[in-house]
Amino acid sequence: MRRGPGPFDLAALTLGFAFLYLPIVILVVFSFNASKLVTVWGGFSLRWYEAVLSNQQLLDSAWVSVRIAFVTATTALVLGTMAGLVLVRIQRFPGKALFTGMVFAPLVMPEVVTGLSLLLLFVSLDVPRGFWTVAIAHTTFATCYVAVVVQARLLTFDRSLEEAAMDLGAPPVRTFFLVTLPLIAPSLAGGWLLAFALSLDDLVIASFTTGPGATTLPMRIYSQARLGVTPEINAVCTILVALVTIVVLVISIVQKRRLVRERARPAR
Amino acid sequence: MRNGPGRVRPPLGRVLLVAVPFAWLAAFFLFPFLIVLKLSLSETALAQPPFLPIVEWVEEAGDLYLAIRLRVQNYLTLLSDGLYLAAFTSSLRIAATATLLALLVAFPVALGMARCRAEIRPFLLLAVMLPFWTSFLIRVYAWMGILKDDGLFNALLLGLGLIAEPLVLLDTETAVLIGIVYSYLPFMILPIFANLEKHDPSLLEAAVDLGCRPWKAFWRITVPLARPGIWAGCFLVFIPAVGEFVVPDLLGGADTLMIGRTLWLEFFTNRDWPLASAVAILMLLVLVVPIVLFQRQQALERLR
């Protein structure tokens, strides 16, 4: 925008990022606290991590969450990519306004409403609730997030390569898989991860749509957190934060490298 | 069907491309709302599931009737019981206050980011996104440890000698506001930053060259140009915040009324599914105006 950040901007950035990061940093630091008290530092210890790793209930629900997130992210990637293509590439069809509305409304819809409505759907269809109902529920809102990511990528997409492929006789579907898909692949990877993270994180919708035997990790964390802050939950949260941070950093470094490589190539 | 002149039947691939996501969203997003509407007009029962059907075949004196019983009492209860109305109004008030606070915090941050050199911006953007990727629940939970009576914030203030007795922060509306602002802050920063980044610096330079004070130039040029980003951020914070459950449940007290929590309690604790459905329908009615405005704003952005 302008010449560069002034002192006011630097202060805003420092305070803003401190606000964003301090609570998480505090949580991480206190997960290594030997003392059970949250405000007293009793020395460095890994005892809470040992407690987490020997808590079978917690591990079971983590495994349930990861499986649901995997199914969700994969299904939502397919559906969301299709929806994103429809939003950008198909100008007119009956119900386009409704379609657009259904893609964007779930992004802001309060979770309690989505959760309740899906539960009532499953009840009225008499579907046994559990793993698959949660996966379907998560897929529905994750699809919308993937669609938005894919749509944003397609809006800045250079179509001349597709046109070249078509001119050379490739049918549309072949063009899509050979040209379009490889070019938007980084966004698709980002969309898959976003869907995975959203599913792994969701408490409200899962609580409504779950059934016996499908208790997810956030549901376990929530029921313990309601009773108060414990170092054990701090440790679980730290593990999750660490995993997410590593994955996001790796992805962004890979994408950055790719971008640099593409820029280094001679101009097309 | 006959294909008229100039009207080509769309290829099968294209039809499938539209039909598959359309059908999924219609089945799992749109259609369930009709069931919620239906259930909001039914009666509670001690059964599994805990409500009575609204449409039934009834045999009376050898004749068969299709009986439809719509119970409007759920809505009457919501409209006449002060507690529910209070929950609605305080949800709107808390969400509006939190949106305004988030805007006040996010705008300077987004502006600072946009003024940094282009090479640094992707890293700052990543730094804003990262907390959004880590669990929402964890971020709310982190504040519990900070705001407790014997938590870190009070320990800090006591240690500095600023207060003699710990402040009661957890289980108050202040804690709920902090929680919402904190959890939704990336949703406010990102659209504003995306907008500010595109501004042409020569406009501000021209204004300053013509003798405009920087502060005035900010108000007359930067803020009006940033309006679409500001609106997008406000919608993304306000609408979900109205129905927020996790934040008021973990950080708010028993007297912090929010409608998302009311719905949860009616459903899980009181097992009154019809009343919970009526709450959901009323919430949708309240939110339909901001949701439609949000959609229109997104559509305008796509046209740019």
Q: Do A99 and B18 touch (CB under 8 A)?
A: yes
The pair of structure tokens assigned to A147 is: 């669609």
Q: Do B151 and A252 touch (CB under 8 A)?
A: no
pLDDT higher than threshold 70 for residue A1: no
Q: Collect the ranges in chain B with pLDDT lower than 70.
A: 1-9, 303-304
In the prediction, which pLDDT does B3 show?
Answer: 45
3-state secondary structure string across chain A: CCCCCCHHHHHHHHHHHHHHHHHHHHHHHHCCECCCCCCCCCCECCHHHHHHHCCHHHHHHHHHHHHHHHHHHHHHHHHHHHHHHHHHHCCCCCCHHHHHHHHHHHHHCCHHHHHHHHHHHHHHCCCCCCHHHHHHHHHHHHHHHHHHHHHHHHHCCCCHHHHHHHHCCCCHHHHHHHHHHHHHHHHHHHHHHHHHHHHHHCCHHHHHHCCCCCCCHHHHHHHHHCCCCCHHHHHHHHHHHHHHHHHHHHHHHHHHHHHHHHHHCCCC
Q: Do B204 and A203 touch (CB under 8 A)?
A: no
Residue in the structure block whose two tokens are 């962004």: A252
In the prediction, which pLDDT does A157 show?
Answer: 84
How many Å apart are CA B230 and CA B221, to the nearest integer? 14
**Rounded mean pLDDT, A170-176:** 86
How many Å apart are CA A268 and CA B13, to the nearest integer? 31
How many Å apart are CA B36 and CA A119, to the nearest integer? 10
In the prediction, which pLDDT does B157 show?
Answer: 86
Q: Report the residue of B37, B117, B135 to disrupt the A interface, i.e. the one with the largest count of A CBs within 10 Å.
A: B135
Cβ neighbours of B243 in A, within 8 Å: 109-113
Q: Do B131 and A26 touch (CB under 8 A)?
A: no
How many Å apart are CA B245 and CA B249, to the nearest integer? 6
Q: pTM of the prediction?
A: 0.88
**Closest B-chain CA to A255:** B122
Helix pair angle (B173-196, A7-30), 10° resolution? 130
**pLDDT per residue as tens digits for the range A74-87:** 999 999 999 999 99
Give the distance from residue A102's alpha carbon to the nearest chain B alpha carbon, in angstroms: 7
What's the DSSP call for residue B45? -
Cβ neighbours of A24 in B, within 8 Å: 131, 134, 138-139, 142
In the prediction, which pLDDT does B109 show?
Answer: 95
What's the DSSP call for residue B176? H
ipTM: 0.87
pLDDT higher than threshold 70 for residue A3: no
Give Cα separations from A263 to A94, A169, A184 (angstroms). Answer: 41, 29, 16
Give the distance from residue B204's alpha carbon to the nearest chain A alpha carbon, in angstroms: 8
Cβ neighbours of B151 in A, within 8 Å: 38-39
Decide if A82 contacts A151 (C-beta within 8 A): no
Q: Do B201 and A1 touch (CB under 8 A)?
A: yes
**Closest B-chain CA to A194:** B133
**Which one, of B234, B202, B207, B209, lies nearest residue B220 by Cα?**
B207
What's the DSSP call for residue B270? S
**Closest A-chain CA to B205:** A2
Interface of A with B in 53-82 (CB under 8 A): 79-80, 82
Give the distance from residue B244's alpha carbon to the nearest chain A alpha carbon, in angstroms: 7
Sign of CA dihedral A48, A49, A53, A56: positive
**pLDDT per residue as tens digits for the range A25-63:** 888 888 888 887 766 788 888 888 988 888 898 899 999
In the prediction, which pLDDT does B304 show?
Answer: 64
Confidence of residue A156 (pLDDT cuts 50, 70, 90): confident
Mean pLDDT of chain A: 88
pLDDT higher than threshold 90 for residue A226: no
How many Å apart are CA B184 and CA B236, to the nearest integer? 8
Q: Which of B39, B114, B138 sits opposite A241 (nearest CB)?
A: B138
Decide if A112 contacts A204 (C-beta within 8 A): yes
How many Å apart are CA A193 and CA A37, to the nearest integer? 35
Q: Do A248 and B295 touch (CB under 8 A)?
A: no
**pLDDT per residue as tens digits for the range A87-104:** 998 888 888 989 998 998
In the prediction, which pLDDT does B7 show?
Answer: 58
